[in-house]
């Protein structure tokens, strides 16, 4: 139902804004703004997208968690698509996603919503071991004495070939 409302509410909002803005500044300036926003969206998406890709590659090369750069990249892709979509409402949301501060707040909010709905599963996935191939333990993990949990990433699984 919420998705249906979005598909109805967004176009209605865009139509209303086109009528209002067109009444204030006229037809041709309104159409010019729509084309200009699409051009700006293309340029920003290309520049910001390349920067996000570099951040993702850097995180992977350094062995850091790539979820932040991935979320940034996804938000920038959505922002670019919104800027390419004709309309003032979608442009406003697209610009908000292009700016680092609002983008981080939106990503945090979406993350909280996903966790609250149970759509995000936390865990390392190594509790029961790999199941898609034959493996053997070559060095057992040592638990942290304070928590009793493994003190690092799983290191004892080696694929048998």
21, 75, 82 from 113: Cα distances, Å: 34, 16, 22
| Residues 56, 82 share a domain | yes
Give the structural domain span for 36.
2-116
| Residues 158, 85 share a domain | no
Q: Which pLDDT band, with edges at 50, 70 and 90, does 99 fall under?
A: confident
> Of 96, 116, 136, which closes a domain?
116
CA neighbor of 79 nearest in space, from 114, 119, 110, 37? 37
% the chain with pLDDT above 90: 19
Of residues 130 and 54, more confidence is placed in 54
| Residues 104, 35 share a domain | yes
Residue 100 is predicted with a pLDDT of: 85
CA angle at residue 19 from 82 to 24, to 5 degrees?
105
Stated pTM of the model: 0.63
Q: Which single residue is written with the structure tokens 């938000």? A: 75
| Residues 83, 157 share a domain | no
Residue 2 has pLDDT above 60, yes or no: yes
| Residues 71, 20 share a domain | yes
| Count of domains for the chain | 2
Residue 160 is predicted with a pLDDT of: 52
């Amino acid at each position: 139902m919420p998705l249906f409302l979005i598909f109805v509410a967004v176009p209605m909002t865009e139509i209303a804004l086109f009528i209002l803005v067109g009444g204030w500044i006229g037809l041709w300036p309104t159409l010019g703004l729509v084309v200009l926003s699409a051009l700006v969206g293309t340029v920003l998406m290309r520049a910001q997208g390349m920067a996000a890709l570099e951040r993702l590659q850097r995180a992977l090369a350094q062995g850091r968690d790539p979820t932040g750069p991935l979320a940034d990249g996804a938000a920038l892709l959505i922002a670019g698509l919104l800027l390419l979509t004709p309309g003032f409402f979608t442009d406003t949301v697209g610009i908000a996603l292009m700016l680092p501060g609002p983008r981080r707040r939106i990503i945090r909010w979406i993350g909280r919503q996903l966790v609250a709905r149970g759509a995000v599963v936390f865990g390392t996935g190594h509790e029961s071991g790999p199941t898609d191939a034959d493996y053997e333990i070559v060095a057992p993990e040592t638990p942290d004495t304070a928590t009793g949990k493994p003190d690092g990433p799983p290191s004892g699984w080696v694929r048998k070939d």
